Structure formats: structure tokens, C-alpha cells
Amino acid sequence: MKTRYTYGGDEHIYVEMDDEMSLDAFFKSLSMSNAVRDAKIKGVTEICPANASFQVRFDPDVISPDEMMKKVKELEHRAEDAEKRLKTRIIEIPVYYQDPWTHETLMRFRERHQDPSGTDLDYAARINGFDSVEAFIEAHHSQPWFVSMVGFVAGLPFLYQLVEREKQLQVPKYLRPRTDTPKLTVGYGGCFSCIYSVRGAGGYQMFGVTPMPIFDPEQKQSYLSDFMVFFKPGDIVKWKPIDRAEYDRILAEVEADTYVPRIAEVDFDLDAFNADMPGTNAKLMEALNVA
Amino acid sequence: MSLKVIQPGLSTSIQDLGRPGYFHLGIPIGGAMDRFALRVANMLVGNPEGAAGLEVVFMGPTLTFEKDVLVAVTGADLPPKVDGVVQDGWAAFEVKAGQTLSFDFLKSGARAYIAISGGIDTPPALGSRSTYPIGALGGIEGRNIQAGDVIPLGEADMIEPGLSVPANLRRLPGKPAELRVLPGLYWHRLTPAAQEGFFADDWAVALEADRMGYRFKGGKPLEFVAREQPFGAGADPSNIVDGCYSYGSIQVPGGLEPIVLHRDAVSGGGYFTLGAIISADMDLIGQLQPHTPVNFRKVDMAEALAARAERKTLLAAVRAHLG
């Protein structure tokens, strides 16, 4: 892992911890972006952590780019020394896989896909070596996920699965991005899952849909009362497969503003996870089961 | 006190100087694409420079007012008319209660800014009145204005009409437009020939050009330095592990058509970026019509900062001129 520093025009510094994805790179990026935030450097206007990189936006009229770069670089040792532990939460997100709405959309944009003859899930299952779509869906929801970035559009989480690299699912993005994606689509691109927080353009493969809103400027749901965006980096997610009946039941609760997602407070320790992945994940899911 | 929308124009939105501070959650700064033009329009009618006004794209709206107001239109050359009588751009004029403000056809530029004395007084969202339709934030119900809307205006101390800004204190892109670029970010992904070609080629604004981003076409496809793609990046050589995007950054999906992210930028994604348009030239992009020829010019950080200082000097000169 070698840190790379560069400028994005005269108002941004971009720091890439590693060019490939790993939880180590994520933790280092999160620690270092936190160190930059804690340093309260005059002239910094935004700090955006991402999967394996982060970006600092600054006002060059207040602090020169050279000076800003120097200050950011000085904080790298803090990231290296930082504890790779997080006090966080695990959230159960219901997913209706193979739903009719993403199906309609993926059929509409079939000519932009690598394999127009099947569905996105057919394709993803095949190229990842699964015998059936059901087995692929099982692999997608059986182990938890880590929110490694929030962004693209308002409140959209990127999620990285908490499994060994050889078990990571990987799919390419659409050949050409769609101009439409249903709101709350559960998508997949590269090694990342995501939830499309709003309807709009998108290039990720579409696997299903959740009835649970994750972005709402009106903040009608109780779990959005603090802020209109639900996710933050470091959140842990467990997908729960649901059928149409349960989807409709949850949606009715959402529409009545009474839906309460299942959430448990947990600690996540990267070293403990790396030493025992199944054991760590079992504990995380256990916390959810008693919540 | 309010104004009424008779016709909305093509795509007219309420904008101020934006909502910094939420890009880490995917909510962009937004605000006027041509910030200089909005600032000047506000100054002309006696508003604070960051008051909310209307950003008009290509075709102006038709508006009526409940009370006498001062209006100024800056940015694109889109001649304003009061009850059919053409008024000067970049100047403050009066519109009396019951009179109609409309617009002639666009002569140059792409976005005009309408400032009204008192400023638009819709409820702010996350500290700004700027309209961000993707997130349904700001403006009126998070959308562009439409016919029948009644838009609240703030209280104003009426100043005298007649202030104007001379041509030498205005700023519009040349033809061909020149946009200055500071190479960086994932610049190293391009071969030396592609790095050179990007700046040497003639580009033009494509039809897909909006507040989120401006697409360009006409140059040669860009070639990438060969590599085994890093884990998690995706198979295409233009893919990276999804990271943050800078405002003004230039992504080139598949190496084909560069896209410059603007005020309503997506905050991150999985395409490499070759650098960013310098802050001094961001306003100009908002004034480019589709098909406008464009050249990208390579600059270093010293030139970027000098250009930024020049922009500040121009704004200071306008402030001094308007007293």
C-alpha cells in the first residue's frame, strides 16, 4: 500500500491510499480523513472519505495549495498509528431480489448490457461461477457488508462484503450507463454493492429493491429524524431476503411512517476480523438477532 | 410580496451560491453555474451578492410582480423586456406592480441570471435556496419553476435604477472557448500520446450538458497505460476503485468523451479523472452552448492561482464601480 497525493484543480487535494480495494486501505483512509478533520486546518471546506481514498476541498485564498498539501501529508503517520476499531452499528436491510420493477428496467436497457439474453442476476451468477441465481443471491446476503463510502448521489452507500478476497463477488458495470434506475435499487459494480437512494442514471447491475427509504429531505421516517441521509461510512449491513408479501407489508409501514429497521450497536475491530472472519461475522449477526 | 410565473422558460431554477458541507454525503454544492454573473446581478439591484435569483437556460421565463421591484439580468445575452420594451442587460431597471417581465431570443451565452430586489425568499434547505432536483432539495419543492408558481420575495430597500456594468467588467467565453486544466488526479493513467492529444485536439460541447456535467466530443479516443486492473476497480482501463470526484474534474469513460463535473456534480464514482478545470474557468462553462468549439489548455498551479487572483480583481473592480 503506497499513498499517492495529487491535486484536483486548485481547490482539492486527493489522497489515494491504495489503487486496489481492501478494508486496510479503507480504514487508513477513514483514519487519515478524520485526522484532517480533527486538525481543523483553516481554509478546509469539505472532507470526503471514499473507499480507498479521500478528498479535501479547500479555499486557496485562505491557505496555499503547497501549504495545504504539506499539512495533509504530515498527518499520514497518524493514520498509520490509528487503531483499526470502530464503534458502529449493524443494520438489517430487507431486499426483494428479482423484483418486477428492476426487472422491467433492466429489460428496457438490455442493449447496454454485456449479455442481453438474460437478466443482470443471470449474468452475475454465471461469471462468478455459481450454478444458479439462487446460490448467487445466497452468497450476496449470507455474510454482512461494510459501508465504505457514501456518495455519487444523495446518501447512496457503497458496500464492501466482509469476506476473503477470493470469495468477493465481482461484476462489471453496464457497457453504457442506464438513464434510469428505480429508487432503492440494490445494485452491484466492481466489488461493491450499493443502494440507489434516489431514482436516476446508473451503471451498476440491478439485483433487487429495498422498501426502506435511505434518503428523505422531509425526514418523515423516525430513523431519518436526525438527518435526511441514513448511512455513514463504517456502518455494517446485513441484507435480509424478503418476498413480495413482506415487501408490501414493510412498504405499508413506511407509508404510515411507522417502519423501524432492526439495528444493533456493535464494535468492529479490523485485526480481529482479519484473524477470524466467520467468527467475527457470526458475532455481528448475533447482535442483530437479539436487537 | 411575491412574483408569479406565467411561463417558466426551458429550465429555470432558483439558485444562490450553493450549500457547501454535504459533498461527503453525495449532496453537491449546487448554486449558480456562473457565480460571477449572479453576484453582479445581485449587486445591481442592491442585494447581498449571495441572494437567491433565477438561473435561466437558453429561453427566458415570463414573470409578473405584486409590487414595484428592481431587476437586473446578467450572464448570457438574453434581452429582458418590460411590457414588451427591451431593457439593457447588465443593468438595473424597474418593473412596476402588474407589469410583465419577459425575454427576447438568446443572442449569446447559455445561462442568464435574474436578480430581483429583495431576493427570492423560498425556505432554505441545508442552508441554501439552490435547487437540486436529484435530491429534491431547495427551490420550490426541490424542482425547477413552473407556470403558476408564486415565488416569495424578500423585503428590499429600493435603490435607484440605472446602475450598469460596462462591457470590460463582464466576462463571457471566447470563440473557440478556452478552458484551462490543471493535470492531476489519475493523469498518469494516460499514455504520453493521449496526454498530448487531449490538449491538441479540437473539442465541442455535446448535447448532454447540464448542471451536473458538461460532455465534450470531437477529439481522438484516449489511450491508457497498460496495466492489470486493481482489485475492485472493474475491467475497463478507464475504471478505478470508486473514489471522490473534484468539482471541475474531467472524467473520460472508456477514453471516449470527456465530461466536466459542475455545480450539481455526482460526488464520486468509478471513472478515472485526468485533472480538473481551474476554479477561475468554472463560471465560463455555464455559458457554453452545445456545439461550441472548445480547446483545453494545460496550466500549472501557479497559473491557476494567478487566474483565480485575476477573477477576484475583476469582481473587486465591479464592486468598486457600483460603489
B41, B53 Cβ separation under 8 angstroms: yes
Distances from the Cα of A24 to the Cα of A31, A207, A271, B209, angstroms:
11, 28, 10, 38
A27-79 pLDDT, tens per residue?
999 999 999 999 999 999 999 999 999 999 999 999 999 999 999 999 999 88
Looking at CATH, the fold of the domain delimited by A87-289 is given as Cyclophilin (2.40.100)
Q: What is the percent of chain B where pLDDT is above 70?
A: 100
What is the ipTM score, two decimals? 0.96
How far is residue A6's CA from residue B275's CA, in Å, rounded to a whole number?
9
Q: Of the candidates A10, A53, A151, which has its C-beta nearest B24's C-beta?
A: A151
Q: Compare all CA atoms of chain A with the CA of B26 and give the residue at the minimum distance.
A: A151
A169-203 pLDDT, tens per residue?
999 888 888 989 999 999 999 999 999 999 998 98
Q: Does B125 touch chain A (CB under 8 A)?
A: yes
**A46 and B23 in contact by Cβ < 8 A?**
yes
* Of the candidates A61, A245, A53, A51, the residue with the CA atom closest to the CA atom of residue A160: A51
Cα–Cα–Cα angle for B322, B9, B113, rounded to 5 degrees: 15
To the nearest whole angstrom, how far is the Cα of A228 from the nearest Cα of chain B? 10
Q: Look at residue B159 and tell me whether its pLDDT is greater than 90.
A: no
> pTM of the prediction?
0.95
Q: Look at residue A1 and tell me whether its pLDDT is greater than 90.
A: no
Average pLDDT across chain B, whole number? 96
Residues of B in contact with A11 (CB under 8 A): 246-248, 279
The residue written with cell numbers 431480489 in the block is: A97
Q: Of the candidates A10, A173, A189, which has its C-beta nearest B305's C-beta?
A: A10
Q: Strand pairing of B53-57 and B92-95?
A: unpaired
Q: Of the candidates A48, A61, A191, which has its C-beta nearest B24's C-beta?
A: A48
Q: What is the pLDDT of residue A175?
A: 84
A214-273 pLDDT, tens per residue?
999 999 999 999 999 999 999 999 999 999 999 999 999 999 999 999 999 999 999 999
10 Å Cβ neighbour count for B225?
11
B216, B289 Cβ separation under 8 angstroms: no
The residue written with cell numbers 501557479 in the block is: B302
Residues of B in contact with A18 (CB under 8 A): 230
To the nearest whole angstrom, how far is the Cα of A283 from the nearest Cα of chain B? 26
Q: What is the pLDDT of residue B284?
A: 97
Q: What share of chain A is helix, strand, coil (3-state, %, to 5)?
A: 35, 25, 40
Domain boundaries defined on chain A: 4-82, 87-289
Q: Which of B35, B242, B251 to mutate to test the interface with A (most CBs of A within 10 A)?
A: B242
Same fold for the pair A4-82 and A87-289: no
Q: What is the pLDDT of residue A16?
A: 98
Q: What is the pLDDT of residue A123?
A: 97
Match domain A4-82 to its CATH number in 3.40.50.12280, 3.40.50.1220, 3.30.479.30, 3.30.1360.40.
Answer: 3.30.1360.40
Look up residue B233 and give its amino acid: A
Strand ranges (E), chain B: 2-7, 13-15, 53-57, 62-65, 69-77, 80-82, 85-86, 92-95, 100-103, 108-116, 150-152, 177-183, 203-209, 213-217, 239-244, 249-251, 259-261, 268-271, 273-277, 293-298
Q: Compare all CA atoms of chain B with the CA of A229 and give the residue at the minimum distance.
A: B25
Q: Which of B23, B224, B241 to mutate to test the interface with A (most CBs of A within 10 A)?
A: B241
